[in-house]
Amino acid sequence: MKSSNEYAQAFGPLYAKIPKAVFAAVAFSFAGWAAGNEAKDTDQQVERFIAEWRTLHDNGIVPQNPGKKPM
């Protein structure tokens, strides 16, 4: 997979699978989360992203399920 930006590189193969609606919902959730906490490295950011996506799915906010841990 050709990665065109640092986000694509950080997420690896998962990047192409993430729907835009999920990015938007998670980004909004992260705005509040980031105000009080910051991840120590990229891996923590990816793990937090997946956890937030799963929470959004579990609560019916986004229909897409992140599935099992892909990495």
Given this model, what pLDDT does residue 51 score?
82
Cβ(9)–Cβ(46) under 8 Å?
no
Q: What is the pLDDT of residue 43?
A: 76
Res 58: pLDDT: 92
Task: Read off the pLDDT band of 1 (50, 70, 90).
Answer: very low
- Cα dist from 23 to 17, 39, whole Å: 11, 18
State the pLDDT at residue 34: 63
12-66 pLDDT, tens digit each: 999 889 998 998 888 877 766 765 566 566 777 777 778 888 888 899 888 889 8
* Residue 19 phi, psi dihedral angles, 5° rounding: -65, 150
Question: Are 7 and 15 contacting, i.e. CB atoms less than 8 angstroms apart?
Answer: yes
Annotate 2-55 with DSSP letters as a single string: ---SHHHHHHGGGGGGS-HHHHHHHHHHHHHHHTT---SSHHHHHHHHHHHHHH
